[in-house]
Every structure is written in C-alpha cells, then in structure tokens.
Amino acid sequence: MYRKEIILIGGGGHCRSCIDVIESVQEFKIAGIVEQPGKTKSILGYPVLGSDKDLENLKNIYEYALITIGQMGSSMLRQKIFNHLKKLGFALPVMVSSLAHVSRYASLGEGTIVMHQAMVNVGASIGRNCILNTKCLVEHDAKIGDHTHISTGAVLNGETMIGSGSFVGSNATIVQGARFPDNLFFKAGSLVCSERDGQAMKENHGF
C-alpha cells in the first residue's frame, strides 16, 4: 500500500507519542524529523532531517508536515510554527489514532492529532492544530478553538466551548454548556463550572 511521506516538526516526548499514533494509522510514512541543531541524530529510528532553517528546502521534497511539539500552557510556539508551515505551503493532515473514536458527525481542523483512546462524540467541532491527548473525552456538540491542547483524561461535557490557544490539564472536567474565551489555562484535576473559574486561571498564569 502506498503511504504518503510526512515530516514531523519537533523531537521531544510529544513527538514520540505522535510517532506511535502515526504508525498505528498506516496512511503516512514518516520521512524524518525537524529538530534543533545538534540535539540528536535520530528518534525512534527516524532520522533528523535538519532544523527550522531547512524547512523551505524540505518543502521542495515533502508535501506533508505535522507539528509534534507539545503544549504546556502557552500555545504561542505551536501557533508560530503552524503559520510558518502554512506560509511555506505544507499540507497539515488530521491524524487520528486507530485506537481513538471520532464520530463521523464530528469535525476536526487541519493539523489536529487525536491520540490513543481519545473520544470525540457527535457534533463536536475541533479547531486547527489541536492536541486531543490520550483518553480525553470531548462530548457531543462541544467546540474547541484552534491551537488548544486537551490533556490526558480531561473531560469536556456536552455543548462546552473552549476558546483558541487554551490548555485543559490532565483529568480536568468542564461542566456541560460552560463557555470560555481564548487563551485560558485549566489546571490538572480541576472542576470548571463557569467563565469566572477559567478567567481566574488566566490571571494566575499570566496569559
């Protein structure tokens, strides 16, 4: 079976998790990884092809790219890289683990990855360049803005709305119908019931 070649941008721990997801799908063949100069020569057997300064040349060889830099708090780095890749003309595919479930009545934006055992239910809408991490649950009709990370085991109940550039920590729970603006930080294990809760977290974390 023909598999499309893709390059990965960022070689840390999140990259290794993304490799596992991509290998489970079998749609793409990982050509290599773009990483900071001198850090390592290979990651899980895949070669480091160069650094950010080589992206323009790599675009002449590869059509597809995926951002594999994690997001702890601020989304600014992932946003910057996303915009740069788009400017260069890369295609950023949606990546869904073979062990995840995404309803056919849900939508996922370009460059978003859905990790192992995550669930996206009917009517959910996920923005571009998002991370839906292992075992998170996005319930029916929830909406997630661009460049947002939903961490491991987090639960977004039905009809919630999370703005762009946000971070929902591991095992956090967002109650049904709650709505939040952009760039919020929800700490791990928190129960978030209103915009006031999210706004307080925004102030405490300097967003």
**Model pLDDT for residues 125-144, shown as the tens digit of each residue:** 999 999 999 999 999 999 99
Q: 2 burial class (0-12, 13-18, 19+ CB within 10 angstroms)?
A: exposed
Query: Whose CA is closest to 149, among 101, 183, 200, 192?
Result: 183
The architecture that CATH gives domain 95-204 is 3 Solenoid (2.160)
Looking at the predicted structure, is the pLDDT value of residue 202 above 70?
no
Q: Which residues pair with 120 in a beta bridge?
A: 102, 138
Q: Where do you find CATH 3.40.50.20 in the chain?
A: 4-88
CATH class for the region spanning 4-88: alpha beta
Backbone angles phi, psi at 194, to 5 degrees: -150, 170
Q: Output the pTM of the full model.
A: 0.92
Q: Where do you find CATH 2.160.10.10 in the chain?
A: 95-204
Mean of the per-residue pLDDT values for the chain? 92
Query: Whose CA is closest to 151, among 130, 165, 132, 126?
Result: 132
